[in-house]
Amino acid sequence: MPALAGWLGRAEKAFLIALAAWVISGPLEVAAVTRLVLALALAAAGGWVGLKWLRRGIRRVIWRLRNRLLVAYLFIAVVPTLLIAVFAYLGGIFLTAQIAVYLVSAEYERRLHALESAAAAFARLPVRERERAWERTRALFGEGAPELGVLVREAGAIAFRRPEDLEAPPEGHQATGGAVVRNGYLYLWARSAAGAREVTLLAPLTRAFLSALAPGIGEVVIVDIGEEAVPMRLHSAGAGAPARRTSLAPARHWLDMALTWGVPIPVAVWEAPRRSAGGLLAVRFRPSTVLDVVARPQAQGANLLYWLYLIAGAFLAVEVISLYIGISITRTITSAFEALYEGTERVRRGDFSHRIEVRGQDQMATVSESFNRMTENLERLLEVAKEKERMQAELEIAREVQRQLYPRSVPRLRTLELVAQCRPARMVSGDYYDYQAVGDSAAVLAIGDVAGKGISAALLMATLQAAARTHVRACLERASGGVAAVSTSRLVTELNQQLFADTAPEKYATFYFGIYEDSSGLLTYTNAGHLPPLVVRRGRVIMLEVNGMVVGAFPAARYSESRLLLEPGDLLVCYTDGVTETENDYGELFGEHRLIEVLLRHAHRPADRILAAVVEAVEEWTRSPELQDDLTLLLARRV
C-alpha cells in the first residue's frame, strides 16, 4: 500500500476520490444537482488523468531518437501533404462555387439591365408606339412564362396597361430595378420616370426563367434571408400547372457532392414601398457541372477533375517513397547518435579519454570527429574557465579598490554645496573626480578623463589621483600666503611632467583643476584639454575657458589659469564626454545643448536632484541598460 500511494499522483488521487464519492452517492439517494456536480468532477478528474498518462506515454515513445525522427517525418511529410490536399480541395470547391454564382448573377444583372432599358424606352416613346414596343419586350421576357406586365401613368392617371387587370404600384416607390415580392410571388421589375410619366415593367419569375440564367449548372432559387419573414414563391410555368424542378446532375464520384452557394440581392415589397426584404440568389450545383460549363468542349471539362486526382495520386506515391527513404536514412543517423550518446555519458562521468569510432565521410562522421576533438580540448577549456573566473574576481577587487579611491566625505563649506557621481561603462572606470577641503575656508575640485577604458584606464586614473593629491599638498606647503597663493597652472604643469615621465607615451588624460575660496566665492582653475565646465547663472549658461592641452602627452606643455567669481545661486557643472558624446539608436549625440536644456529646466532644484535628472536624461536618450562610455558629473552650487 505505501508503494501504491507513492505511485499515485495528485491527479490519480483526485480521480479515485471523485469516483468513490460518485459511487457512494447512488445508494444514498442524494439530490440530482449534487450527483450532477459529482459526475462533472469525476469527468474533470478523469480527463486530467487521461491527459497526464497520454503525455507520459508520448514522452516514453519519442524518447528514442529513432521514434522521434519518425514522428518528425510524419509531421514534416504526411501531415503537410494531407493539409495541402484538403486545402486544394476546399479551394477548388470555393472557386467552383464562386464561378457558379458569378455566372448566375451576371446573367441576372444583364436581364435586369435589359428590363430597365426597356422601361426607360417606354418612358420616352410616343403613345402610338407603345403597343408595338410592349410586344417586343414581351417576346424577350415572357417566353415560357406568364405574360410580361407594363403600366404607364401620366400625371397620376393610367395611360397604358397590359394586361388590363394589372394594378398600379402603391405610391412611394422610386425609380428602381430588381426583384419585388407582390402578393407573395416574385417578379423582376423596373420603374422609370420621364417628367410626369411613370413606367412600370413587371416580369414574373419562374423556375424556367431562373434555370435559364446559367443552363446546365443546377437549380437556381431566390430565398428570403431578411430579418422579417417574407413569402417568396416562384410563378408556375403555366396557368395552374405546378412548377417543374430542374433536376441536379448525378454525382460522378464520391467527392462530387451537391453544394449550395449564393449572393445577396435586394428585394422590394410591392405593398410596402418603404420596406425592403433580404433575398439570396442561390445556386445548388455540383463541381463537375460547373467545370462542364466553364471548360468547353465538355469532354475536357468532364476529365479535368480526373486529371487532378491522378496528379494528386502521383504526388502521394512520391510522398510514400520519400517517407520510406527517410526511414532508411534514419537508421544510419540513430546508430551514430547512439555512439554519441554513450560518449557523452562517459564524459559526464569524467572520462575524457573516451573516443568515438568514426565511420564514413558524411556529416555524422564529422560530428563524431568533433566530439573527439571536444573531449581533447575540454580539460583545457576548463582551465581557461577557471582562469577567467579568477580574473573576474580580481576585477571585482579592483572595482572595490577604485571605489575606495573616490572621496568619501564632502567638504563642509559655508557657501558651497558639492555632489558628484561616476558610473563606469565596464567593471572599472577611466574617469576621475575629486574634491578635498583645504582648511576651513577653501576646497579643491578636480575632474579628469583618461584615454581608453578598462583596467589600463583605471590604473592611469589611480596614478592621476595620487599625483594630483601629492602636488596639492606640495603646493600648499610651498605657499606661505595660504591657499590664495597656490597656482593652479603650476600644479597642472608639474602634474603633466610627472605623468609624461611615469606613464607610456600613448597614455594621456584631460584634467580640470580648480580652487574655491569660501570667503570670497572666487574660483581659480586650470582646464587642461577637458570639456569646458558650465556655470548656470540666472537662466543663462556661462562656458568656462580651456587653458591648455591634455596632460601626459607633451612634457613642455604650458598652462594658464582663469578666475571666476561665483555668485549666490550659481551652479558649476563639470562633466566628462560620457554625458555629451552618448549616441542614440540613430547615431545622434546627446550634445551640450541637450545638457544645457536639462540644467536650465532643473536649475531651481537641489544639486543632487539636478545630477539625477541629467543621468536620467542620458539613459532615456540611449535607451540601453549599458553605458557607451564612463559617465562622471561633479556639481557645485554657491549658496
pLDDT in tens, 558-573: 999 999 999 999 999 9
pLDDT at 101: 92
pLDDT at 298: 47
Give, in degrees to the nearest 5, the angle at Cα 158 between 152 and 161.
55
Give, in degrees to the nearest 5, the angle at Cα 631 between 401 and 392.
40
Residue 345 to residue 343: CA distance in whole angstroms: 5
Residue 465 to residue 432: CA distance in whole angstroms: 7
The low-confidence residues of the chain, meaning pLDDT below 70, are: 1-7, 62, 64-66, 140-147, 237-247, 295-306, 308, 352, 394, 398, 401-402, 478-485
Place of cell 595660504: 482
pLDDT at 306: 67
pLDDT at 241: 41
Residue 52 to residue 561: CA distance in whole angstroms: 81
pLDDT at 238: 55
pLDDT at 635: 95
DSSP 478: H
Reading the block at residue 355, the C-alpha cell is: 573516443
Confirm if 452 and 550 have CB atoms less than 8 A apart. no
Residue 231 phi, psi (nearest 5): -60, 135
The pTM for the full model equals 0.46
3-state secondary structure 21-83: HHHHHHHHCCCHHHHHHHHHHHHHHHHHHHHHHHHHHHHHHCCCHHHHHHHHHHHHHHHHHHH
Place of cell 495520386: 313
Name residues whose C-beta falls within 8 Å of residue 635's C-beta, 6 or more positions apart in sequence: 418, 419, 420, 571, 572, 573, 574, 607, 610, 611
Looking at beta carbons, which pairs linking 396-404 to residues 24 or more positions away fall under 8 Å?
396/427, 398/427, 398/428, 398/455, 398/458, 399/424, 399/427, 399/428, 402/428, 402/429, 402/458, 402/461, 402/462
pLDDT at 503: 82
Confirm if 444 and 511 have CB atoms less than 8 A apart. no
pLDDT at 231: 87
**Structural domains of the chain in order of their starting residue, each with its CATH number:** 8-61 (no CATH), 85-294 (no CATH), 297-405 (no CATH), 409-638 (3.60.40.10)
Reading the block at residue 529, the C-alpha cell is: 584639454
Confirm if 484 and 517 have CB atoms less than 8 A apart. yes
What is the torsion angle, in degrees rounded to the nearest 10, for the CA atoms of residue 394, residue 399, residue 401 and residue 404?
A: -170
pLDDT at 246: 58
Name residues whose C-beta falls within 8 Å of residue 401's C-beta, 6 or more positions apart in sequence: none
The whole-angstrom distance between residue 280's C-alpha and the CA centroid of its chain comes to 40
